[in-house]
Amino acid sequence: MAKVSVCIPVYNGEKFLAKTISSVLSQTYKDMEILIVDNASTDGTPKIISGFKDERIRCVRNDSTISAAENWNRSVGLARGEYIALFHADDLYNPRIVEEEARVLDNRPDVGVVFSEAVMIDENDKQIGYFGLPKDMRKLDVITFKDLLVQLVRNNYNPMACPSAMARRSLYEKTLPYDGKSYRFVFDIDMYLKMAEIMNIAVIKEGLMGYRRHTGQGGLGLGNADWDQNEVYPAYEKYIKKHPDLLVKSDLDRFEAFKRWDYTSQAVKKLRRGDVDEAKKLLRRSLSWRRAFVSLLDINLLLRLWVSVFFFLAAYAGLGRAASGITADRRIGYMQ
């Protein structure tokens, strides 16, 4: 039995799947199975999978399409390895990622899940950015639950490149399932917070994967996503309530400022749909004296505050829908 199971859950992934599978087959680490769980795709996904003849590949096809979280749960449940890597069907993996992550789990019994940093790529595999640890976390050997929660709450920045995750089977047995009932999108972040409550996290300080951003993902930032409220805030709040002793008042004040920023994000989506009255209500909620005071101490929060004020004034001047068009700009559209 292979030590590592590399799971690739996929639904209608014909555009990038062949590249993803090829990048996994090119791994320097050989003691692995590659489990592809096809979520009843209706495009050319089955044909692409059948075109690969490597004996390490095992393909399972669902009888009908289930939710993404359910398919992830099924993938982990079918995996046979001691370590389980859950890779995305549209990303590219450096040939050393499985070897390096397995080495961390072999050598660090206190670490339950390991990630790597990532090179951000577009639809044509061109580098468009880098997803790495913030400066204050790069000095850490491992990341504790407190380190992670403080980072998420204080800076609203997730240091985990989720498509790079490799976790111990024994840890998954304590934390499954991925919660697709509470979350449509951030059930992966919720899972890794659950894992961090039990064991430490490690992040390899090297970009060992190509993390793809493309239109098929539905957009990720201000005005561009196909959902309204950003799910990370209720997800983080669940853990804030469970561990109130880990945070100080300044952390919570910053978190409140980011939450109010999200009302602006929701309002911009309303403006783009022509729902001006609802957008105005959200923009009023977005602004507060407390947020203004906290934002004076941080340039990133201050920038968001000014964007909120801009849309507030534009909405009340009858220019909100026109102003919302600027969110197509990458610099504005991907503000988190």
Across all residues in the chain, what is the average pLDDT? Answer: 92
The number of domains in the chain is 2
User: Per-residue pLDDT tens for 316-333?
Assistant: 998 877 877 766 544 444
The whole-angstrom separation of Cα 47 and Cα 292 is 55
Q: Record the pTM.
A: 0.90
Residue 163 clears pLDDT 90, i.e. is over it: yes
User: Per-residue pLDDT tens for 50-73?
Assistant: 999 999 999 999 999 999 999 999
Q: Which domain holds residue 8?
A: 4-217
Q: Do 278 and 164 belong to one domain?
A: no
**Tell me, what amino acid is at 151?**
Q
Q: Do 178 and 274 belong to one domain?
A: no
Q: Do 148 and 87 belong to one domain?
A: yes
Q: Are 212 and 232 contacting, i.e. CB atoms less than 8 angstroms apart? A: no
Q: Do 21 and 116 belong to one domain?
A: yes
Non-local (6+) Cβ contacts of 59 within 8 A are 35, 36, 37, 38, 49, 50
Q: Do 147 and 275 belong to one domain?
A: no
Q: Do 213 and 259 belong to one domain?
A: no
With respect to residue 231, please indicate whether it lies within any of the assigned structural domains: no
Q: Do 34 and 158 belong to one domain?
A: yes
The whole-angstrom separation of Cα 167 and Cα 113 is 4
Q: Do 50 and 185 belong to one domain?
A: yes
pLDDT for 305: 96
Residue 257 clears pLDDT 50, i.e. is over it: yes
Q: Do 32 and 167 belong to one domain?
A: yes
With respect to residue 228, please indicate whether it lies within any of the assigned structural domains: no
With respect to residue 104, please indicate whether it lies within any of the assigned structural domains: yes
With respect to residue 235, please indicate whether it lies within any of the assigned structural domains: no
With respect to residue 229, please indicate whether it lies within any of the assigned structural domains: no
Q: Is 120 left (phi over 0), alpha (psi -120 to 50) or beta?
A: beta
Residue 187 clears pLDDT 90, i.e. is over it: yes
Last residue of a domain, one of 168, 201, 217: 217
With respect to residue 230, please indicate whether it lies within any of the assigned structural domains: no
With respect to residue 281, please indicate whether it lies within any of the assigned structural domains: yes
Last residue of a domain, one of 217, 235, 268: 217
